[in-house]
A and B are shown apart, each in its own frame.
Chain A
Amino acid sequence: MPKIAQPKARPTPVSAADHAAQTLAEKHGNKASELIEILHELQDEIGHVPESTMPILASALNLSRAEVYGVATFYHDFHLKPQGKHVIKICRAEACQSAGGVEVVAALEKLVGAKLGETTKDGKITLEAVYCLGLCPMGPAALVDGKPKAAIKADKVQDLVRELA
């Protein structure tokens, strides 16, 4: 009779990301209710949420792997794959649309050479859509590597990219 491989009772951390996940879970008291914050901090540290960390987190928080995967994939903030070196999040919501946001998105996509949700081939820039940054009176707005920008003009999108090395 062929032996059926049994999953290990406790997955062993292998990569640096796995260790980080385990440490963060401990830091948050291994509480399942802290999962979202743990994922945030993991992503802040590693840059994304590698799938290899999910069994580690599931075991630490006493959740199923499906539950951890479900949370990590539900929220737009979390990425299972690495993003570009720089991330530009640009607002697509109504207030920015009313101030020329559609043109700004088109101009930026053309300039960068990637669509929203894509990363440039050289891995330098990821473009992402966001829906409202609360900068609505002075739209269109964006976050460039977390730094807020407002009153962006379609013919000046190169200003957003210029400083990104």
Chain B
Amino acid sequence: MMVKVFIPRDMLSKALGADEVAEAIAAEAAKRKISVQIIRNSARGMAWLEPFVEIETPKGRIGYGGVKVADVASLFEANFLEGGKHDLAQGLVEEILYLKNQERLTFARAGITDPVSLEDYMAHGGYEGLKKALASDGASIVKDVLDSGLRGRGGAGFPTGIKWKTVLDAKAAQKYVCCNADEGDSGTFADRMIMEGDPFLLIEGMTIAGVAAGATEGYIYCRSEYPYAIDALKEAIDVAKAANWLGQNIQGTDKSFELKVRRGAGAYICGEETAMLESIEGRRGMVRAKPPIPALQGLFGQPTIINNVLSFCAVPTIMAKGAKFYQDFGMGRSRGTMPFQLGGNLERGGIVEKAFGITLRELIEDFGGGPYMGKPLRAVQVGGPLGAYLSADQLDLKMDYETFAAVGAMLGHGGIVVFDTTVNMAAQARFAMEFCAIESCGKCTPCRIGSTRGVEVIDKIVAGKDREYNAALLTDLCQTMTDGSLCAMGGLTPGPVMSAFTKFPEDFGLPKPRKMAAE
């Protein structure tokens, strides 16, 4: 019997040598005249175990973690094709606590399926949501999304159902659905993993949005830094089209939906929805003033649903299992699950999908295992480069939009980056300003000029020039950027800057503790 060997095709697995390991296993099997079927599956989201090789056995899949080309011969010696003992063996994959303790709805198929196999997708619950949507009408789909409590996963947390209703109610000959897959936030990679690992899920979610709002054309704006995601999406779109899950008269209904992938070009600002629209239209990614909101005048001036990858990917589950099923997860006004992304300096980084309400400490310590180089944790940045820095005494915060907002922080896209005691927080604050200066579209003054002045002022504070004066100046500058910027780029850059400044003043050469003029 041919043994099935699963080796992820995920970009991170490849970065750690998965392609070479796959070749080595195939070569070694051929040498030993053993017949194996190598399947390039999606990744489980246990980054520290990549490349993670799985073997299908009668008992279930057995995993081997951190496999290198040099390990391949010894794996064969250990009879790993029958789940034999080896130093790299992780036992039954479904019994690994990191996975077992999660609540995976969006990442339900991660590691299990071949990303571009429609058969695999359908065999694991795929297209159940769209089937229901096709048998329903726009208003009831929108009501389900609204009732589920789903909020935009891109960072802003706006209720998805309200956005969809606005587009549904708008009158226009042509409406659009756009997916913001410009996942530029450092520390976030859930969009990438879904697009590479389960592209049909995004396609299904966007198709449901199109059916709901009466939009017949969709675009996925994917950043160019994710070439494998773009390839997987394009391949999956072709497969879906051939099977009539996309295109004209989907599954014999009167509903049609066409989907295209647009490649970004390395501009972080294009993750801002109006800059993204400009970019899809072929122009510089300059932010548009709002109103008009994109739901009414979006792509090519037409009503447009714009959501993040994870928002669209939550919808098939909501449709298939019901709004209540989804709504039962979570806390307060944050409903459902969130694929949190553990990055940076952690023992066990990866995807942890849990209901809202889990604490930061549980994510960082129980799942993540704390900083990996043995030094204690000093700061955590949640929500990407525009997210505030939290100190070690804030780890008991619950992962919930409102809880984070109350302490001046934000969940953002759910990325968590951990820093140990080697971090210099003045350098981090400076970097936040520098990044804003590099990536600002330049349309509004507080962001374009303020970011450059911010770098200079921080340099002066650190160098000890008129510290008190420049500290007040930095605070004032940040307030101006917060109040006066056109979009979140300039508006939120003060978040990491001021949180670093107020919580870690000693890194700026200022005494600790220290009372801020603004407080």
Residues of A within 8 A of B (CB): 31-37, 39-40, 67, 70-71, 74-78, 93-99, 130-139, 141, 143, 146-151
Contacts and interface: CB of A to CB of B under 8 A. Distances in A.
A92 to B, nearest CB: 8
Nearest to B279: A36
Nearest to A96: B186
Nearest to A75: B265
B266 A77 contact: yes
Interface residues of B, number: 56
A70 B284 contact: yes
B187 A136 contact: yes
Contacts of A31: 282
A137 B348 CA distance: 8
4 closest residue pairs by CB, A with B: A137-B349, A136-B343, A93-B186, A75-B265
A131 B268 contact: yes
A124 to B, nearest CB: 23
B72 to A, nearest CB: 19
Given A36-B282, A99-B345, 10 more contacts: A37-B263, A75-B264, A93-B187, A98-B417, A131-B186, A134-B191, A137-B343, A138-B12, A138-B349, A147-B14
Contacts of B279: 36
Contacts of B281: 32-33
Of the listed residues B187, B264, B428, the one surrounded by the most CB atoms of chain A closer than 10 A to its CB is B187
Contact of B184 (A132, A148, A151): A132
B418 interface: yes
B227 A34 contact: no
Interface in B183-235: 183-189, 191-192, 224-227
Contact of B265 (A39, A98, A134, A147): A39
B423 interface: yes
A23 to B, nearest CB: 18
B16 interface: yes
5 contacts: A36-B262, A36-B265, A93-B385, A134-B225, A137-B343
B15 A95 contact: no
A133 to B, nearest CB: 5
Contact of B344 (A75, A136, A143, A147): A136
Given A71-B284, A134-B226, A136-B417, A95 B16 contact: no
A34 B418 CA distance: 40
B312 interface: no
A75 B263 CA distance: 12
Nearest to B16: A150
B339 interface: no
Given A36-B263, A74-B285, A98-B417, A136 B188 contact: yes
A163 to B, nearest CB: 12
